[in-house]
Structures are given as structure tokens and as C-alpha cells.
A and B are shown apart, each in its own frame.
Chain A
Amino acid sequence: MKILLLEDDFKLSSEIKVFLQEKHFVCDAVYDGNLFLRQFANAAYDLFILDINVPGVNGLEVCSLIRQSDKATPIIMLTAFGQIEDKVEAFNNGADDYLVKPFHFDELFIRINSLMRRNQNPQQSDEIITVEDLQINVSDLKVIRGGTEIYLTPKEYQLLLLLAKAKGKPVSKQSISDIVWDLNFETGTNTIEVYINFLRKKVDKNFDVKLIHTRPGFGYYLKSEE
């Protein structure tokens, strides 16, 4: 497992290297963007870790340059704390994850592992759940009905997916609360109604055939007709 690290602070770089070697990764470290790109062209790596503020070509530019030729290799950006915009920019440039300095090495280890795993067995793409003219593309989180894309918030999407996966069987409010929200999180019954309402507005409102139905006492279900 080979990792290429771009970090201009010598001490930091060597600490990260020590840690990664400890975890049995092979780690090469470079100190400026130009050197990184040369190294990137010369050798194959399984993961890149990029600091943003480095001499030569900066980390964000390096990231987008990598993505021009290599779409698959995971990239973790290291950002200085307080620089919120960097994170947004990092994702726009094709990074897979970011860590805010100073980070916990265990956290870095977890992120590396999860990205590696994802990269080794890529999700079965093209999994599409269809209910009437509603299509939920599980791999890229897109929802399309009647040919137009519906933009859902993460919670709305999870709720729709849960109903769709139940294949027409009603899902109780309690299950919705437990699955869509996590266990530390208790929602009032009212909240679930509000979210069903949001979903109805986006999914059903502009269409003649209503898909989201309520069965009083049991919960909600997704079906073309009663």
C-alpha cells in the first residue's frame, strides 16, 4: 500500500510518515507541489494526502491536476483549521475527504482504511429502485420522476429510500425515526409528519398519481395506487 504525502512542514511530514510506516504503509513525502506532480507522473500510488498551503503548485491545484488524469485514486486533503472555504473548495477539486489540522492519527487511519476499502470494492453502481415513474439511483443519490430530477435533502432522501425499499409495505413512524435519524436522536411524532409533508411536496405535488400514502395507525408507504 503506497501513499504519497505532500506536506511542506518538515516536522509534520516526518511525524505523519512515522505514523503511516508504523501502520505498515509505504509513504513517500514531498515538500512542494511541483515535486509532487513529478513524483505522481513517475510512480503509482494507492492514496494521496495533500496539504493545501505548499510552495510551488498548491494542494488544491495539485488535486485538480491529479483528477484530470486519475479519477480513482483517493485523495485526502489536509486543511488548516479556521479555513472553512478550503473544505468546500477541496471537494470541488475532486478530493474524497479532508482532515483539519491538528488531526488525530487514529482518525487519519480510519479515513485511509475506509477510502481504500471503497476503492477496492466499488459499490455496485446502477442500482436503481423504480416505483411507477419515480426512479431512485442509489449509487449517485439521484431521484428522478417523470424525467425531471427532484432535489432532496439528505434526510428526505433517506426517508424516500426507506419507503421505497419497503416495497409498498407501511413503515411506522418509530422505524422512520430510528432508521433515518440515529438512535441518540428522538423525534417528536410531529417531525415525521413534517418530513412526509416535505417529501409529498417534492415528489407528489406536481403529479397526478400520488405515491406517498398514509395508513393511519401503521405508518407510511410508497405505492402507485391504493
Chain B
Amino acid sequence: MISLKQRFTINFSILLSVILAVVLTMIYSIFSQYRRTEFKLRLEEKAFSTAALLADLNVSKQDALEILDQNSVDKLYNNRILVLDNDLNLIYSSISGATQIPSAEDLQLLKTKGSFFFSDSKIGRYGMARKLPANKLLYVFVTAEDKSGERLLWFLGYLLLGAFIVGTGSVIILARSLSGRILLPLKQIQERITNISEKRLHIRLEEKRNNDEIDKLARAFNDMMDRIDSSYKQQKEFTDNASHELRTPVTRIIMQIQNLIALESHSDKTKQYLSSIMMDSNQIADTISSLLLLSRIDTGKISEFFPPCRLDEIIFDATQFITKAYPDVRILFNIENQSENDIDIEVKGDTNLLKIVFINLFKNAYLYSSDKLINVSLIQENDDLKVVITNNGEVISADDRENLFNAFARGKNSKNIQGTGLGLRITERILNHHHAHIMYEALNENSNCFTVLFKF
């Protein structure tokens, strides 16, 4: 994936480089055009001056011409001059001995146009027909190499190439820093958004009030977050409010049934029904109180600043509750210090909430055990404090493990066991709130193990 920054850098650099290349090429081609024109002018001048000299002298003064040619200030490299008269007789040739007869085409051009100029990359050829008195014509041909022009052109070429390389390099560096600067707010936005989580919906982006696109994006995002936050709160509050509203009637029902059961006039059948209704009502009450607790944690109504408390005492409190509720439970407790430090089993937490955690875990361990024995170990390691709770009983199936900590999830092994399906959910939420973790593993096919992990 190419990032926006890279894409901007690449596009911007390519665009500017192309513009630079076009401009430099234009400069080069204009200059090369100029060189050609100038070279033609020089050849023309040479031809004119030669023709003028011959016309004025009206004689072939080979020597004089040669002197003139060789002393010319404006010296042309590899210069050859050929002068023919009306009847194509050689009047003058700058190279002694060698005669170069101009081609018929050249002559034809001279006759029709009066002059011509050809130039390839090296050699330029200029020809002209000069009218003399008495209807005579003088044909002058000048050829030369434009060494200095060529050198200038080369020099310019290298100069422009260098300029292009330096220019393109600077453009790339410029584009990189520019795109970095422009996209910096986007990067900051991305970093902030990454921090937003279920618990931290209050995070908003910084609005700079300079009305640019990124600022508008930030504002739109903040508006969206406000809406999400408020609807999330409403949803959470709903659970809270609904539970509160349900609580009173359920309490009334339970109280009334209790008094009803106490009356002596019931038949056995009625009593049976009443205690069954009582049990169901109690379960509804359990569910409602669990939901309330969950929503209180989720809506952040429970403080995040905890005093230190002794984990062992919390566990003892929880076991006391369990032994009261299930008198036939047996709990095996152990403390181990596997760290190199002195034993220190204090954690920062809310005693009441952590008590609920262990009550839930012990209750499960008891209800889902085959021998009513719970094994609890408090283990201090170098970096963490572990509470390992194991029991013997049917293990949780692989499918159920995925939903273990979800609300209203009840495993296949819970068929005849009463429960709300909220216990482990609450346990996990409370522990999350304490930055602690809970894990499950099956030690063998008949042994469950829950581990609660507090980091020091």
C-alpha cells in the first residue's frame, strides 16, 4: 500500500519534474534554433563579403581572397568557399587544387530561390546567387563547421541536465517535507482515533478553527463522536433505568410470596407452587441486579481509583459467603510465593466488586463440580499475582469457551444448574475495570481451571 504521503510526494515530484523538463527542453531547442540561425547569418555574411569582393574586383584574385579568408576575424572552422560564374566556371576555390562541383539540385535552388541554407548537426552549407551588372550571375557556396556553436550547445545541454537533476532532487525533498507538513494533522487525528475505545468515548479531536479541510473533518468527526457517545450512553442508561424500574415490583412480588407462604392454610400443592414461583422470582431478581451492576460498570459510575486491599481477605470474605450459601462445599486454600521478593498480596481494587468476582467464580466452581471441592491457590510471581481456581467436573466445551465471558451465554454443561448467564460476564468486566485478566483452561478432561491475573 502506498501511503497518501508517498502518493503526494510522487505525484507532486513527477508533475514538477515534467514541467521542469519541458521548460529546459524548450530552452535547449530555442537556443539550438538560435545557433542555427546565427550560423546561417555568419555563412551568409561570408558569402556576401566574398561575392562583394569578387564583384568589385571583377577579377579572380585568388591570392587576395585567400589572404582575406585567412585573415578574417570571424574565422569559420573548416571553411570552404566556392565561387562559380554564370557559366559554372570555377572562379575561386578556397582549397587549392580541389574542386567541388555543386550538385545540380543546389544550382537549381539557387536559380529559383536566390539562396539556400542546409545544416546538419555538424556542417552548414550556404549558397547564393549574386547578380552582377550585364545580367551576369555569380554563384557563391560557403560550407563550414560550427565548432563554437556546437560547443555552446553541448555546454548548455550539460548545464540544463545538471539543472534538471538538481531541480528534481530539490522538488522531491520539497514535496516530502511539504506533504509531511500538510498531512501531519491527519497523522495526529489517526493517533487520537486509535485511542478511542468503548471506555474512552469522550476523546475528541483538536479543532484548530482555521477552517481547512482537515479541520472540517475533525469537526465532522467530533460531531459523529458526540452522537455515538450519547446514543451509547442512552443505551447503557436504558439498562440502568429498566433494571431500576423492574427492581421494585420484583421485590414486592418476593416479599408478598414470602408472607403468602407463611400462611398456614395452603395445601401441599399450593405450597409447592409458591416455592417454585419464589425461586423463579429470586432468579429474576438475580438477573436484574447483575444487569444493574454491569451497566454501572459500563457507564463508568464506579470509580477507577482504588485503594489498596488485601486479596487474601477478599477471597476469605467470598468463601464465607459461599460456605453460608452451600454448607457442603469444601475449599482448599494455598498461598505460594514464587517470586524473589517478600510476599505482598495487596492489590488496588474495590473490595466489594472483587468479592463479587470471587463469589461468582467459587459459586461456579462449586455448582459445576462433581465432588463439591474447590481448589484455590494464591500465587505471587515476579510480575503478577495469580489466583488459580480449579475444580473437578465436566469441562467447558470448545464451542462454549468462545462465549464464556459473553452476556447470557450458558454452556452445554449448565442444563440442570440455575444461573443467569451473567456471572462470568460481570466477573470479566469487573476484572477489566481493575486492569486484571481472567483465563480459562481445561487441565484434563475432568478438571476446570480459572486463573485471575493481577499485574503489579
**8 A Cβ contacts from A195-215 to B:** 197-198
Q: Do the beta carbons of B336 and A190 come within 8 Å of each other?
A: yes
List of A residues within 8 angstroms of B293 by Cβ: 82, 84
Of the residues B259, B285, B337, B350, contact of A105 by C-beta under 8 Å = B259
**8 A Cβ contacts from A139-186 to B:** 153-155, 181-182, 184-186
List of A residues within 8 angstroms of B312 by Cβ: 153, 155
**Alpha-carbon gap, A197 to B342, bound state (A):** 10
Q: Do the beta carbons of A12 and B343 come within 8 Å of each other?
A: no
Q: Do the beta carbons of A11 and B352 come within 8 Å of each other?
A: no
Known: A19-B259, A184-B327. A12 touches B252 (CB 8 A): yes
Q: Does A122 contact B (CB under 8 A)?
A: no
Q: Do the beta carbons of B316 and A84 come within 8 Å of each other?
A: no
List of B residues within 8 angstroms of A15 by Cβ: 252, 255-256, 258-259
**8 A Cβ contacts from B284-321 to A:** 285, 288-289, 292-293, 296, 302, 310, 312-313, 316, 319-320
Interface string of A14-29 (1 = CB under 8 A from B): 0110110010000000
Q: Which B positions have Cβ atoms within 8 angstroms of A?
A: 243-244, 247-248, 250-252, 254-256, 258-259, 262, 281-282, 285, 288-289, 292-293, 296, 302, 310, 312-313, 316, 319-320, 323, 327, 329-337, 343, 350, 352-353
10 contacts between A and B (CB under 8 A): A9-B248, A9-B252, A15-B252, A18-B259, A82-B247, A84-B350, A101-B251, A184-B319, A185-B323, A186-B331
Leading 4 A-B pairs by shortest Cβ distance: A82-B292, A81-B289, A188-B334, A102-B254
Q: Do the beta carbons of B343 and A155 come within 8 Å of each other?
A: no
Closest residue of chain B to A193, judged by CB?
B335
**Alpha-carbon gap, A18 to B262, bound state (A):** 11
**Alpha-carbon gap, A180 to B343, bound state (A):** 20
Q: Does A87 contact B (CB under 8 A)?
A: yes
List of B residues within 8 angstroms of A155 by Cβ: 312-313, 316
List of B residues within 8 angstroms of A186 by Cβ: 330-333
Of the residues A16, A182, A187, contact of B323 by C-beta under 8 Å = A182
Of the residues B254, B281, B310, B334, contact of A187 by C-beta under 8 Å = B334
Q: Do the beta carbons of A11 and B256 come within 8 Å of each other?
A: yes
Additional A-B contacts beyond A12-B251, A188-B334, A188-B335 (14; CB < 8 A): A11-B252, A12-B252, A15-B255, A19-B258, A19-B262, A80-B244, A82-B296, A84-B350, A100-B289, A102-B254, A105-B255, A105-B259, A155-B316, A185-B331
Give the shortest distance, in Å, between A98 (CB) and chain B (any CB).
12
Give the shortest distance, in Å, between B351 (CB) and chain A (any CB).
9
Give the shortest distance, in Å, between B337 (CB) and chain A (any CB).
7
Q: Do the beta carbons of A82 and B289 come within 8 Å of each other?
A: yes
Closest residue of chain B to A189, judged by CB?
B334
Give the shortest distance, in Å, between A103 (CB) and chain B (any CB).
9
Closest residue of chain B to A100, judged by CB?
B289
Q: Which A positions have Cβ atoms within 8 angstroms of B?
A: 9, 11-12, 15-16, 18-19, 22, 80-82, 84, 87-88, 100-102, 104-105, 153-155, 181-182, 184-188, 190-191, 194, 197-198
**Alpha-carbon gap, A5 to B451, bound state (A):** 45
Give the shortest distance, in Å, between A183 (CB) and chain B (any CB).
9
Of the residues A12, A88, A102, A194, contact of B335 by C-beta under 8 Å = A194
Give the shortest distance, in Å, between A182 (CB) and chain B (any CB).
6
Of the residues A18, A101, A198, contact of B247 by C-beta under 8 Å = A101
List of B residues within 8 angstroms of A84 by Cβ: 293, 302, 350, 352-353
Q: Do the beta carbons of A191 and B334 come within 8 Å of each other?
A: yes
Q: Do the beta carbons of A184 and B330 come within 8 Å of each other?
A: yes
List of A residues within 8 angstroms of B331 by Cβ: 184-186
Of the residues B250, B255, B310, contact of A16 by C-beta under 8 Å = B255
Q: Do the beta carbons of A185 and B334 come within 8 Å of each other?
A: no
Q: Do the beta carbons of B296 and A88 come within 8 Å of each other?
A: no
List of A residues within 8 angstroms of B256 by Cβ: 11, 15
Specify which of A80, A81, A186, A197 lies most central, judged by the most chain B CB atoms within 10 Å of its CB.
Answer: A81
List of B residues within 8 angstroms of A154 by Cβ: 313, 316
Known: A81-B247, A181-B333, A186-B330. A105 touches B352 (CB 8 A): no
List of B residues within 8 angstroms of A197 by Cβ: 343
Known: A11-B252, A102-B254, A155-B316. A82 touches B333 (CB 8 A): no
**Alpha-carbon gap, A22 to B281, bound state (A):** 23
Give the shortest distance, in Å, between A113 (CB) and chain B (any CB).
17
Give the shortest distance, in Å, between B334 (CB) and chain A (any CB).
4
Q: Do the beta carbons of B285 and A153 come within 8 Å of each other?
A: no
**Alpha-carbon gap, A82 to B353, bound state (A):** 10
Closest residue of chain B to A188, judged by CB?
B334
